[in-house]
Amino acid sequence: MNRLIDTRYNFFWLAGALVFLMFIEAVVAQFDWREAQRLVNITLFVTIVIAVWSVGSAGGSRWMNWKIGMSFIIAILMISDSIIESNFLAVYQLACCFLFLSFTLYICWRQVMFSGDIDGNKIVGAICIYILLGLIWAFAYLLMQEVFPGSFVISEDDTWQHNLGDAVYFSMVTLTTLGYGDITPQEPVVRFMSYLEAVTGVFYTTVLVASLIGIRLAHYSDKLTRDMAADE
């Protein structure tokens, strides 16, 4: 089981978990469930567990231990947040999720871009990186909303779990440079973050395509050289 997750299909597991997380927060926003806080916390923790076991070992034992430790910290914060609603706990919870997703992105990038041939799993890994970028910025926006209320035109009375859907939606719209304009940042720092995310989205797609093509051509050239040497 460990080999199935860590090598051949690890990014399929991660992609499924990330899409499921975004689906749950969309459903929560759609029906405005009373138990949204608890449901989002549970779904987020399941996503974190899958992230640990799907890509954690790719970064070596040091990163694996760090991610497991961070998972326990996030779990404790989530349990505490479900029992006691506190702005203090929300800030630390969002910050830990931001850090966890950022290191997951780093490990995914290393595994996709700097290991082996390009296959279906690596392509799915590239998609995971793109989704992680959107989620990382979403948690950064929520963190700014907690620290500086009024950073966005969204409800300030609800918990961040209720606003996660709006944050992910705004982040993905900004990352893909769609710019619908129905949610707009109000604070200068948040506006800076928004156009920085848009630049990152364009830059990533450009670098991704160029890198994947370059890696593919390099492996093809090596294979051609070996075949020619074998024929001689």
Decide if 197 is inside a domain: yes
pLDDT-wise least confident of 19-33, 90-104, 130-144, 214-228: 214-228
pLDDT-wise least confident of 37-41, 57-61, 65-69, 162-166: 57-61
The share of the chain scoring above pLDDT 90, in percent, equals: 18
Residue 46: pLDDT band with limits 50, 70, 90: confident
- What confidence score (pLDDT) does residue 138 get? 94
Decide if 12 is inside a domain: yes
- CA separation (Å) from 48 to 42, 51, 119, 193, 196? 10, 5, 25, 24, 26
Judged against a pLDDT cut of 90, whether residue 80 lies above it is answered with no
How many domains in the chain? 1
What is the span of the domain harbouring residue 8? 2-202
Please give, one letter per residue, the 3-state secondary structure of 29-53.
HHHCCCCHHHHHHHHHHHHHHHHHH
Judged against a pLDDT cut of 80, whether residue 219 lies above it is answered with no
- The more confident residue out of 63 and 124 is 124
Contact yes or no for 138/168 (Cβ under 8 A)? yes
Decide if 54 is inside a domain: yes
Q: For residue 2, report the phi and psi dihedrals to the nearest 5 degrees.
A: -60, -40
- What confidence score (pLDDT) does residue 171 get? 93
Instruction: Report pTM.
Output: 0.82
Residue 119: pLDDT band with limits 50, 70, 90: confident
Q: Look at residues 67, 126, 74 and name the one whose alpha carbon lies nearest to residue 102.
A: 67
The stretch 55-79 carries a mean pLDDT of 68
Decide if 217 is inside a domain: no
Decide if 178 is inside a domain: yes
Decide if 123 is inside a domain: yes
Residue 4: pLDDT band with limits 50, 70, 90: very low
Judged against a pLDDT cut of 70, whether residue 89 lies above it is answered with yes
Judged against a pLDDT cut of 80, whether residue 77 lies above it is answered with no
Average pLDDT in the chain:
79
Judged against a pLDDT cut of 60, whether residue 1 lies above it is answered with no
Decide if 152 is inside a domain: yes
Decide if 216 is inside a domain: no
Reported as a single tens digit per residue, the pLDDT across 160-198 is 888 888 899 999 999 998 878 788 888 889 999 999 999
